[in-house]
Structure 1
């Protein structure tokens, strides 16, 4: 720009030089001639030659003889020379002559005098005059560069010489100079590392060094190999620049997204919460760079950043999926958090760059692009983890509604590969935000509960979730089928006649009778396998119940959002009714707007509004059809009931007499009763052996199977634990009555049985809870459930055939 303005500033420069020279030769030299050099004829002659050589007497108001001015005494006003500056600069020859005469005047012909050229040693010139001569001498050196203004500007802006470093290559005996030692790249890297908002907008300026060095190599040095080396380095540096720019932009916007999604209560609770806020940066100037000139080539930096940004997003999604695949099912919450941050990052950057669709990139990395594919990497990993790790190794705590990993269980332990460590910006951007989110995710890493199910539903969506449900139901069916021969083996080990426990022998006698009945010592492995199968079935059913809770919450939220537009209001009986008989408020509003627009003669294309009105009607019908969504748990119970129907004859034989057989029955409730008693007894005898391995899932599976087989009341009447508790209660009441009447202290016959009695009471409370839930969600008299279509839409109120219930086997009242 300064080179283009040379004609505008040249006259000002020449006038300034003219004024400086004339001020010195006409005023200051005149004073020296009249004072210091008045009696020194040789030196006065040199000063007079300087004035004669460079003085512009045409610019003076009085052109008097200079020698007469030095010989006559004049007043102070007469001695002041007056001249007018003109845009007439001295020539280079005049400047060189003035410099030569000053050297001759100061040195006296001795250029090697001690103290330097202007040293005050033997010259006989006063210090003040010597300083004026020195100052003018050095000014003349700068005047030479100012006279050649265009060439000087070109020399100053040509930084190509900074690149040439053959001397260093030769001295270090290397073939190629390291890119980290290149001055242009050092400047660019400094801007990147400092992340100064003001410097980032000028990050491409150091690349002008390469343009100057390439120009110098071709025009001045005329060396093609130097240009080729410069070009190779430019390619490498520009690739590194594009990569680091993408990393900086991606890291900044991801940090902003993570800071936005971070729980505000967590930030306020921290003493140093300010570190979770991101310092604002501006990348607008970089996003607008569509034409960057480097070595005569035009580069679209915006397009290059967009391409690399799409690649970074795909790499990040793949890293998160791979990280989830190397962990257990509890890491689904962390995966959902990181994907939410990534999605918000994509939304922020999409305001400036034309990125690919986030859903498209996510489907691509999940290998779920096919329209007929209902599986993905996430769904496959979730089902794989449930098969190999979750169902075998996690135990249920019914009180907290959580699954926790068993510390003792090694059944079907899965082999995992070590998780790879990704780049820092693949997590949450900054280090502080990454540590904060890892701390929050660590709260959900040791259990599986409702928060994890919300994450599963959000990640799978309505497309892949039905496949998981179907696979889980098939797993329950296969486990039921696999238990049939094991249950048969346990049935065969039972005695032919099983009577009720007698109250005469007390709890000690009851325990002895139960041990005589349950002769399963030789079937210990079979019993353990049956318990593990029941545990997996119960875990699967409870997993479905948590899923049902989450889906109902989501459906409720969607209903509250869509009900006003569909004209739905609560009725008197608590049911939802339609406030409008024909159309919904949504369709009515759009139909009115369409009629108003189409009736106007200024409407250019009324067909568009008609299509919009039809689409509104279709949307209303679609939302209305989804209001009566069914229950996943009810469907799972109906599916389990249908699977049990195939083995009904083996696990629930109909009595030949029509009455309950209390002595020879070997139905499933008898097997589960024995398993529950043995399980509780081993829990007391070995506190850390069984409880941590099985949890509450066994009760859920056993009670569900008995309920669906119609054996709930049979179990409540003839269960060994329940009879044991009844005997203990009667014995305790008898002892209390005896003590109150005799007023003597008798020995406590229940001593030593407190642990097993408390365990039995807990088991009975758990069984009652499961039975009450089953009666509420799946009444046997009218088993209604919902099916799930392949598209993910629920199909409400599918009726299944009733199995034989307790009401059919008990004697019926005469009518």
Structure 2
């Protein structure tokens, strides 16, 4: 095999060199250059024939020596004869050697066919030159010979016959014209010829061109050396006669050699010239039919034919499956071994079907053989495209996943003794992906197009599997979903460098169901998980800014479908990479925090977030008007008409006794620590979710605006503001104007690009100038829900009528608060802030050591719901002044009492109330950043500045 590789390397180098010269040549080739092409063509045919013979000999020997279970352990005992001869009869090394030989044969054939006309022309010119060079040599030999011996005469006659056989038509015309003008040869009259007959000079010229050594034909042949060489070789008859005459001259092996051999009449140079000519002219029939000879030398059709084994199958087999066919065995071996050195040879074994089909049509002339070959070739090519596209997608998916794998995780894993390598480099791009004209059975197949179609389907399926995986998990899987989409995006970008793939965003929209519906699959699942799992079963912790699952669930557990088993290549590319990313994303499954909300913002965009907010508002309206309002009305009916403020002599124990007695019915309300807190927790979690989404969306917008800053003009200065007149600053601004994307698009872009650019600039400016805050709009919508009238049946004078009564304000009026100058009933308990103060005081009271606290059961969402409703109702200042817990906390901090007479730990109660007080102040501060509270005093004052006094100078 090493010898073959060396021959192949040397031959391909010479072929490539001559190909480059032929492409750039503008003048006609010289004699030496024609000789080089002649030698190269002969050398190529010799190498091809020797390699083909080696392949066919190996194949024939394998057919005669089939494998069995003793020589190959993988061979089953019931394997068929042909299966033993092909499938189990070649080792991996032998298959690699066969693949290399077939590749060498077909690649050299392609290079020779590429310049077949140049080689054919050079061959004919070289043959013409060699043939007439020999004739000139004989002419010089006859010119020196004056002997009249019998052997000399025989030699002269044979030489003249050679010249007559191979003479050019122009030479014959010149000889006849010369003979007519001269009238005879060197003697003036008739002369006795060989055999005793006397003929005239003119008759000798007309009837025979062998009258003497100084004939005119010899002179004409000698004069041909100065004429241009023709690009035509001798015919098969001419070549046969010339070789026969020359062999007759020098052959000593025949029985008549002692009578006809003329070797003694020839000198050594002539003998050498004849022997060289006979040796070289042996290849002329093959070289003159260069195209046909090339096809025969590369014919490997016998590697497919299996008629003998079909005959001995006794009709049990009409045809063998492709697993037993040697062309597919070689092709499949390349795909299964993943050897980069063999990947470039993947399409060469398919050329065996072309050889077999050509043999069936042109040699055997049997249509049924061609039909069988065509059927198998179609099946093999389909399998090739399927397996190749699968490997191609898997390779680039692994490559993309390896690139995106966290570097710190890789470093820590390597320290622990485990290493995740990058995929082995392969030669897909240069060898296969860009093939657009694969010749198979007379058809030109666009392999790149077929691969593009299957890769598009693979990426689409990968996106669908990622979304399906997210739909079968809770909302914590959104981080993994975003990473999977980014991995597919990177894989698509790398494949797009070699294939014509569909746009990735279009495929993502199709997989996400955004083509036929405004609500995507991701947005719907996010909404479903938020409303039925996050707001019901999660507790918010303000210190960590995370949602964690509650230990005491009051809502039903959300049932999800189990994810289907998915091949590794549709996730991260391999099982090991799947394990790596599973370990990484497992860290995001115990909570819901900023990474999850950021991923939701990036995946949904403005449209998806808007739709989710609209649906959440509907859910929130139903929650407030149908559930929370009813619970507030019930608890308000349990409140006393008034609760006095603590006097100057009051202490914490007395005040606790007063509050516990006044709120006794609230303490005894069974639904308070379950359904009431659960509904308030749901409302609070909705508000916190929207706030976190607003923060993450703002972060994303700021990043976009920061990146677009250099391409957007500076907003115009306000009226009356001084413009910057510094020339340096104006020069810098003029330089940045050249980067303005609108100017660039209008200069070099199309009308469509200009329209898109203007739309994006307007959108970016609106985002920059408007400052739209979704969370603020959400709060205003909740305020509108609170201000809706709630008719209640009231019986007056025996007549039932609907009287609007708002439970949030505790009055007949709706949606208004008292003016600042109007007196406030500080002991009344009808407004919501007093109800919420009572609820907070009740669930702050410690009952036992092992009981769940409201923080563990409901989290901070409970406080967010109450504080948000208080702020939206304009009751924040009243709550801060009249809160039960605040008054008790001041008294307890003053007297430091630990336990009441009822056994309640007042210190623990004060600690819990202190924590809730701090939390409430934080919530009020956040809400006031987005709202302008109605009851908050306006501290802005108009101050007039007077100029300092001025005195005239003395």
Q: Fold conserved (TM > 0.5)? A: yes
CA shift, 1:386, in A, is 1.2
Match in the other structure for 2:333: 190
SS state of the match for residue 524, structure 1?
coil
Q: Is 762-771 or 650-659 further displaced after alignment?
A: 650-659
Match in the other structure for 2:169: none
CA shift, 1:378, in A, is 1.2
Instruction: Work out which of the residue numbers 597, 602, 618 in structure 2 matches 1:474.
Output: 618
SS state of the match for residue 653, structure 1?
coil
Q: Is 246-255 or 304-313 further displaced after alignment?
A: 246-255
Instruction: Work out which of the residue numbers 762, 768, 773 in structure 2 matches 1:627.
Output: 768
Instruction: Work out which of the residue numbers 698, 718, 743 in structure 1 matches 2:882.
Output: 718
SS state of the match for residue 649, structure 1?
coil
CA shift, 1:344, in A, is 1.6
Match in the other structure for 1:231: 374
Q: Is 509-518 or 707-716 further displaced after alignment?
A: 509-518
- Cα deviation code 1:632-676 (max 9, x no counterpart): 222222222222222683111359994333434222223222322
CA shift, 1:54, in A, is 11
Match in the other structure for 2:387: 244
Is residue 2:568 matched to residue 1:411?
no
Match in the other structure for 2:527: 383
SS state of the match for residue 320, structure 1?
helix
2-side partners of 1:673 and 1:747: how far apart? 21
User: Is the Cα–Cα contact under 8 Å of residues 409 and 692 in structure 1 kept in the other structure?
Assistant: no
Is residue 2:808 matched to residue 1:663?
no
Match in the other structure for 2:110: none
2-side partners of 1:608 and 1:691: how far apart? 60
CA shift, 1:419, in A, is 0.5
User: Is the Cα–Cα contact under 8 Å of residues 710 and 740 in structure 2 kept in the other structure?
Assistant: no
User: Is the Cα–Cα contact under 8 Å of residues 651 and 895 in structure 2 kept in the other structure?
Assistant: no
Match in the other structure for 1:766: 919
1-side partners of 2:676 and 2:255: how far apart? 117
1-side partners of 2:906 and 2:845: how far apart? 10
Pairwise mapping of residues 27-66 of structure 1 onto structure 2 (< 5 A)?
52=253
SS state of the match for residue 651, structure 1?
coil
SS state of the match for residue 447, structure 1?
coil
CA shift, 1:383, in A, is 0.8
Instruction: Work out which of the residue numbers 693, 697, 700 in structure 2 matches 1:551.
Output: 697
User: Is the Cα–Cα contact under 8 Å of residues 162 and 209 in structure 1 kept in the other structure?
Assistant: no
SS state of the match for residue 626, structure 1?
helix
Match in the other structure for 2:488: 342
Match in the other structure for 1:589: 738
User: Is the Cα–Cα contact under 8 Å of residues 300 and 352 in structure 2 kept in the other structure?
Assistant: no
SS state of the match for residue 293, structure 1?
strand
SS state of the match for residue 515, structure 2?
coil
Pairwise mapping of residues 650-799 of structure 1 onto structure 2 (< 5 A)?
650-653=807-810, 658-681=822-845, 685-688=849-852, 690-732=854-896, 752-781=905-934
Is residue 2:466 matched to residue 1:302?
no
Which runs of no fewer than 5 residues in structure 2 stay unpaired?
A: 1-7, 12-36, 51-250, 266-271, 283-291, 790-804, 812-816, 939-954
Asked which structure has the greater CA Rg, the reply is 2
Match in the other structure for 1:640: 782
Match in the other structure for 1:395: 539
2-side partners of 1:54 and 1:404: how far apart? 111
CA shift, 1:324, in A, is 1.0
Q: Which has the higher contact order (CA 8 A, sep 6+)?
A: 1
User: Is the Cα–Cα contact under 8 Å of residues 569 and 576 in structure 1 kept in the other structure?
Assistant: no
Pairwise mapping of residues 350-365 of structure 1 onto structure 2 (< 5 A)?
350-365=496-511
1-side partners of 2:776 and 2:45: how far apart? 94
Count of matched residue pairs: 652
1-side partners of 2:654 and 2:402: how far apart? 65
2-side partners of 1:353 and 1:237: how far apart? 22
CA shift, 1:405, in A, is 1.8
User: Is the Cα–Cα contact under 8 Å of residues 197 and 281 in structure 1 kept in the other structure?
Assistant: yes
2-side partners of 1:428 and 1:85: how far apart? 71
Match in the other structure for 1:791: none
User: Is the Cα–Cα contact under 8 Å of residues 301 and 356 in structure 2 kept in the other structure?
Assistant: no
**TM-aligned CA distance change 1:391 to 1:55, over 3 Å:** farther
**TM-aligned CA distance change 1:193 to 1:304, over 3 Å:** same
User: Is the Cα–Cα contact under 8 Å of residues 498 and 517 in structure 1 kept in the other structure?
Assistant: no
TM-score, reference length from structure 1:
0.69
SS state of the match for residue 404, structure 1?
strand
User: Is the Cα–Cα contact under 8 Å of residues 310 and 319 in structure 2 kept in the other structure?
Assistant: no
- Cα deviation code 1:259-285 (max 9, x no counterpart): 333333333443168634333222222
Which runs of no fewer than 5 residues in structure 1 stay unpaired?
A: 18-49, 65-81, 93-147, 599-605, 736-745, 782-804, 809-815
- Cα deviation code 1:231-282 (max 9, x no counterpart): 3333222222111111122122222222333333333443168634333222
**TM-aligned CA distance change 1:752 to 1:545, over 3 Å:** same
2-side partners of 1:751 and 1:228: how far apart? 96
TM-score, reference length from structure 2:
0.60
* Cα root mean square deviation, aligned: 4.8
User: Is the Cα–Cα contact under 8 Å of residues 406 and 693 in structure 1 kept in the other structure?
Assistant: yes
**TM-aligned CA distance change 1:519 to 1:615, over 3 Å:** closer
